Structure 1
Amino acid sequence: MNVLEISRLAFVIAFYLYCLSFIFYVVAVTGKTWRNRDPVRHERKWGAVSFVTSSLGLLSHFIYCGTRWAYSGHIPVSNMYEFMTFLSMMVMLAFTVIFLIYRKILIGMFALPVAIIIMAYAAVFPKDVQPLIPSLQSIWLYIHVTLAATGEAFFAIGFAAGLMYLLRTVEFDKQDKSSLRQKRWLEFTLYSIIIVLGFVISVYGFRAANYEAVFVQNTTVIDSEVQEDSTIERIVYNLPPIVAPDDSKPEYIDSFLGLKFPWFEAPSWMKGEQAGRQLNTVVWAVVTGTLLYFLLRLLLRKPLSRLIAPTLKSLDPDDLDEISYRSIAIGFPIFTLGALVFAMIWAQQAWGRFWGWDPKEVWALITWLFYSAYLHLRLSRGFQGRQSSWLAVIGFIVVMFTLIGVNLIIAGLHSYAGVD
Structure 2
Amino acid sequence: MTSLTDSISSWSSNFFIIAFALYCVAFLLFVVSLTGKKWNHGDPEAHTRKWGGTAFTVTLIAFLCHLIFFFTRWYAGGHIPTSNMYEFMTFLGMMIVLAFIIVFLLYRKHVLGAFALPVAIIILAYAAVFPQEIQPLIPALQSYWLKIHVTTAATGEAFFAVGFAGGIMYLLRSIDFTDRSPSARKEQKWLEFTLLVMVMIIGFVGSIFSFNAAGYKAKFTETVTYTDKAGVEQTMEQETLYVLPPLVMPHNGQTIEMTPFLGMNEPLFRAPSWMKGASAGRKLNTVIWSVLSGLILYGVCRLIARKPLGAAIAPLMNGLDKEDLDEISYRSIAIGYPIFTLGALIFAMIWAHEAWGRFWGWDPKEVWALITWLFYAAYLHLRLSRGWTGKRSSWLSVIGFIVVMFTLIGVNLVIAGLHSYAGV
Query: Normalised by the shorter chain, which TM-score bucket?
Result: over 0.9
- Counting only pairs closer than 5 Å after superposition, residues 271-286 of structure 1 correspond to structure 2 as 271-272=277-278, 274-286=279-291
Q: TM-score, normalised by structure 2?
A: 0.95
Q: Deviations over 1:213-254 (max 9, x none)?
A: 111123457666788775432212111112222421112222
CA apart distance, 1:113: 0.4
Could you tell me which of 373, 376, 381 is aligned with 2:381?
A: 376
Q: Which of 119, 130, 133 is the aligned partner of 1:125?
A: 130
Taking the TM superposition and a 5 Å limit, the aligned residue runs for 1:335-350 are: 335-350=340-355
Q: Secondary structure, in 3 states, of the residue corresponding to 1:36?
A: coil
Deviation at 1:286, TM superposition (A): 1.3
Q: Which runs of 5+ in 2 are unaligned?
A: 1-5
Match of 1:263 among 256, 265, 269: 269
Partner amino acid for 1:339?
A
Give the alignment of 1:132-171 within 5 angstroms. 132-171=137-176
Q: Distance in 2 between matches of 1:224 and 1:189?
A: 43
Q: Contact 2:352 / 2:360 at 8 angstroms: preserved in 1?
A: yes
In 2, Cα distance between the equivalents of 1:223 and 1:316? 59
| Identical pairs, percent | 59
Within 5 Å, give how 1:34-183 maps onto structure 2: 34-183=39-188
Contact 1:15/1:57 (CA < 8 Å) preserved in 2? yes
Asked if 2 retains the 8 angstrom alpha-carbon contact of 1:194 and 1:292, the reply is: yes
- The 1:313–1:341 alpha-carbon spacing in structure 2 relative to 1, beyond 3 Å, is same
Alignment of 1:232-243 (within 5 A): 232-243=237-248
Q: Secondary structure of the equivalent of 1:101?
A: helix
- How far 1:375 sits from its partner (Å)? 0.2
- In structure 1, what is the equivalent of residue 28 of structure 2? 23
Cα distance, 1:201 vs structure 2: 1.1
Aligned partner of 2:277: which letter?
K
Q: CA-to-partner distance for each residue in 1:159-178, whole Å, 9 max, x for gaps?
A: 00010000001111111121
> How big is the shift at 1:299?
2.3
Distance 1:264-1:230 versus aligned 2 partners, 3 A rule: closer
- Pairing of 1:313-328 with structure 2 (within 5 A): 313-328=318-333
Q: Which runs of 5+ in 1 are unaligned?
A: none
Note if 1:298 corresponds to 2:298: no
Change (3 A) 1:397 1:222: closer
Aligned equivalents of 2:113, 2:351: Cα separation in 1: 36
Q: Which whole-Å CA distance do the structure 2 matches of 1:226 and 1:186 have between them?
A: 48
3-state SS, counterpart of residue 39 of structure 2: helix
Instruction: For residue 189 of structure 1, give the secondary structure of its aligned residue in structure 2.
Output: helix
Structure 1 CA distance for aligned equivalents of residues 187 and 337 of structure 2: 27
Give me the whole-angstrom Cα distance separating, in 2, the residues matched to 1:343 and 1:174.
Answer: 47
- Structure-2 separation of matches of 1:347 and 1:246: 36
Post-superposition shift, 1:267? 4.8
Query: Secondary structure of the equivalent of 2:255?
Result: strand
Root-mean-square deviation (CA, aligned residues, Å) is 1.7
* Aligned AA (1:146): T
Per-residue deviation, residues 156-215 of structure 1 (Å, max 9, x unmatched): 000000100000011111111211011001100000001111111111111122112111
Measure the CA separation in 1 of the matches of 2:397 and 2:227.
46
What is the match of residue 353 of structure 1? 358
Please list, as runs of the form range in 1=range in 2, the aligned pairs for 1:203-242 lying within 5 A after superposition. Answer: 203-219=208-224, 231-242=236-247
What TM-score, normalized to structure 1? 0.96
What whole-Å deviation, never above 9, does each CA across 1:342-368 have from its counterpart, x for those lacking one?
Answer: 111111111122111111111111100
Q: State whether residues 279 and 408 of structure 1, in contact with CA within 8 Å, keep that contact through their aligned partners in structure 2.
A: no
Kept in 1: contact 2:413–2:423 (CA 8 A): no
Distance 1:235 1:382, change over 3 A: same
**Deviation at 1:256?**
1.3
CA drift at 1:76:
0.6
Match of 2:406 among 401, 404, 410: 401
